[in-house]
A and B are shown apart, each in its own frame.
Chain A
Amino acid sequence: MTLAIPGNFMPRTAVRNVFSSGAERGARASTPLSSRSAARDLGVSPEGRSRPGAGARSLAALGMTAIFATLCALCCLSSHAADIRDDRGVTVHLAAPPQRIVSLLPSLTETVCALGACARLVGTDRFSNFPPEVQALPKAGGLDDASVERIVALKPDLVLAAGSTRAIARLESLGLTVAALEPHDMADAHRVLDAVATLLQVPGADAVWSRIRQRTDAAVARVPAGWRGKRAYFEVDAGPYAAGTSSFIGELLRHLGLGNIVPAELGPFPKLNPEFVVRARPDVVMGGERDVDQMAARPGWSDMAALRAHRVCRFGRGQADVIVRPGPRLGEAAELVADCLARLDPPT
């Protein structure tokens, strides 16, 4: 039906889908996470142990030694334990690296796999379909109807879920460790990547992120100069709902040097009056292929310059998955949009 459907969650309505996958929240401000670098900081500091006991003559030195010894002991302990603060502000503590993970959000599934820990997944939600190896895993329902029984039976030592997953309280009351992480924008995607790496106690988050940056930068460079500053209309649902500047998709467009017909104050995914879109005269129209194909049939839309000149980016189902999930395929999403723009003649 729309671009949003194959997104993060159960597609009861596409709008909801996109709202949840991209809506801006105070998450950035409210969740200072211990990042991977912080975890590194918790690692053993060698000077703590090698400190000689030469200062035993003075009490002060003795005190110092005691402090260092304690620190060292703490360090040794914490090298096997991980703590993060999740999106709810709850501290999630893992005494050992998790070996049986259930992920209930496609972007989290992709993040786990991007960190090379795909083999530790024992189950996912029904919408996780990438990378292909997760398709064979047991499916434990969606965001609304996560199957508590199935998840418990999978005996996970860590459940990764979106904050709006209804089952979280129930899963925790059954003794499972749940981390609520839900990326809404690029900064979130980075934060969540770091948080998942910390929880899994795997290295490589920095490498994954720099690969994403490389691909994004390459995509930016590929956008023809004629498209810089041109205004886009990105439809996430035939409501019509648009991707605003503060949404994840809006950020991507801005990054690629495009403007947006939606003013920033309208929020991440505003419902627009169809008249507004026509009047705003976008230079390029983007959206899911089925929505884009129907646009010319809407009253008054057929005369829209972008539609008449076929300056449209149609994204198929698989491509839409890439674009609407703020996960490790961010770079690929930027490339998809950039490649589309490269195929089109910019307006004069």
Chain B
Amino acid sequence: MIAPEAARARRRLAFALTLASVVLAVAGVMVGSEGWRPGALADPGLRDVLWNIRAPRTVGAWLVGALLGLAGALAQGLFRNPLADPYLLGSSSGAGLGVVLVLAAGATQGRAIESLAEDALARLGLVGAAFVGALIGVALTLALARGARQSTGLLLAGVVVGVVLGALADLVTMASPEALRGKQVFMLGTTGFLGWGACGTLAIALAITLPAAWRFSRALDALTLGEDSARSLGLPLGPVRALLVVLLALATGAAVAQAGLIAFVGLVAPHLVRRRLQAPHGTTLVASTAAGGVLLLASDVLSRGLWAPQELPVGVLTAALGGSFLLWLMHARRTS
């Protein structure tokens, strides 16, 4: 049974997040370099902008933020560490390496014999390469840590894989400077290029990861008691944790592949939720998902509106805002 007070807090949070999502979605359709004017829907040119650019961008930003929020909550639950973020397990450097390899292969095309492998790479595209790279990064981490039984080992393996894959990517870019440029363009966190196609992919990723994470969230609750206690509860800790890591990788990989590296959303969203709500992980996961969506969409709307008609890359904004928020949170905790 849930205490009435907790239920109220839950309802309040759900209401606030829904309201914020709706308000921001409306703002997302109205804000942009071409502005807004009454009767915009009657103007076919502007209608095209609203429907084909702003709307998918708005939905896409929410979805990317949601995936990152979910991944962040998963990571913090898995590692029982409030500073864990979605990129901890080598997914970002894996994605970076994937992108660099495809770009370097593309750059050598014409010089080298056009091999089947290169052709396949070209067809896979950068988005696919980033996604596959992210998954491979996490798989390597899992292999290095010999599964997901121990969170310290996993964390350490994640750091090692991140550094090594990052160094490999640097090595490739030394040989193929074109790839460096392309990687930086690709990995820069931005929501500006999200179309309806990207929204579809992101929605599918969220539809797979969120219910599955919810279903296995009990393991995270058990983990808060410590690994030994969790094991004594009879939970198959290893397999469940491996599954959660895979979900984490899927969510992060999908987000990185579509929008590059967006800092701090995954880290901050669960904190935001936990400040309002003491609840089992299932609730926290869902709430963090929505909070992540709201955070990134808010940043996106701000990044479009602050300097209109120019715009700020949203990754820059989330890093600045999220960083300040985290500092404030730490400060508030220390003084209380």
Contacts and interface: CB of A to CB of B under 8 A. Distances in A.
Interface in B168-188: 174-175, 177-178, 180-182, 184-186, 188
Nearest to B108: A26
Main secondary structure of the interface of A (DSSP, over half): loop
B117 to A, nearest CB: 16
Contacts of A26: 107-111
A16 B192 contact: no
Contacts of A23: 177-178, 181
A144 B188 contact: yes
A147 B109 contact: no
Contact of B182 (A126, A164, A169): A164
B48 interface: yes
B53 A152 contact: yes
Main secondary structure of the interface of B (DSSP, over half): helix
A125 B250 CA distance: 35
Given A20-B181, A164-B181, A147 B193 contact: no
B313 A149 contact: no
A145 B48 contact: no
B34 A153 contact: yes
Contact of A149 (B34, B109, B178, B182): B34
A27 interface: yes
Interface residues of B, number: 35
B186 A141 contact: no
Contacts of A174: 48, 52-53, 195
Nearest to B125: A169
B54 interface: yes
B18 interface: no
B63 to A, nearest CB: 16
Interface in B86-113: 107-111
B309 A147 contact: yes
Contacts of B310: 126, 139, 141, 147
Interface in A1-52: 12, 15-16, 19-20, 23, 25-31
B192 A148 contact: yes
Contacts of B197: 173
Interface in B51-71: 52-54
| A27, A145, A146 — most chain B CB neighbours (10 Å) | A145
B193 A167 contact: yes
Contact of B190 (A19, A145, A153, A155): A145
B32 interface: yes
Contacts of B156: none
A20 B190 CA distance: 20
A170 interface: yes
A127 interface: no
Interface in B278-336: 309-311, 313
A30 B110 contact: yes
Nearest to B33: A150
A153 B195 contact: no
Contacts of B48: 152, 174
B110 A149 contact: no
Contacts of A155: 45
A269 interface: yes
Interface in A306-323: none
A19 B175 CA distance: 12
B257 to A, nearest CB: 13
Interface size class of A (residues with CB under 8 A): 35 or more
A27 B110 contact: yes
Interface in A108-147: 126, 138-139, 141, 143-147
Given A144-B313, A149-B53, A152-B53, A268 B177 contact: yes
A228 interface: no
A305 to B, nearest CB: 30
Nearest to A166: B185
A167 B49 CA distance: 15
A97 interface: no
Nearest to A27: B110
A15 B170 CA distance: 14
A236 to B, nearest CB: 11
A150 B309 contact: yes
A267 interface: yes
Contacts of B111: 26, 29
A16 B184 contact: yes
Contacts of B193: 148, 166-167, 169-170
A269 B178 CA distance: 10
A100 to B, nearest CB: 13
A164 B109 contact: no
A12 B108 contact: no
A29 B318 CA distance: 42
Interface of A: 12, 15-16, 19-20, 23, 25-31, 126, 138-139, 141, 143-150, 152-153, 155, 164-167, 169-170, 173-174, 267-269, 271
Given A165-B185, A170-B195, 18 more contacts: A19-B177, A19-B178, A20-B181, A26-B109, A26-B111, A138-B309, A143-B185, A145-B192, A147-B311, A148-B53, A149-B34, A150-B309, A152-B49, A152-B53, A166-B193, A173-B195, A173-B197, A174-B48
A-B residue pairs, 7 tightest by C-beta: A26-B110, A30-B110, A19-B177, A29-B110, A20-B181, A26-B111, A150-B33
17 contacts: A19-B180, A20-B178, A23-B181, A25-B110, A26-B111, A28-B110, A141-B311, A144-B184, A147-B33, A147-B311, A148-B53, A150-B34, A152-B48, A153-B34, A153-B45, A166-B186, A167-B193
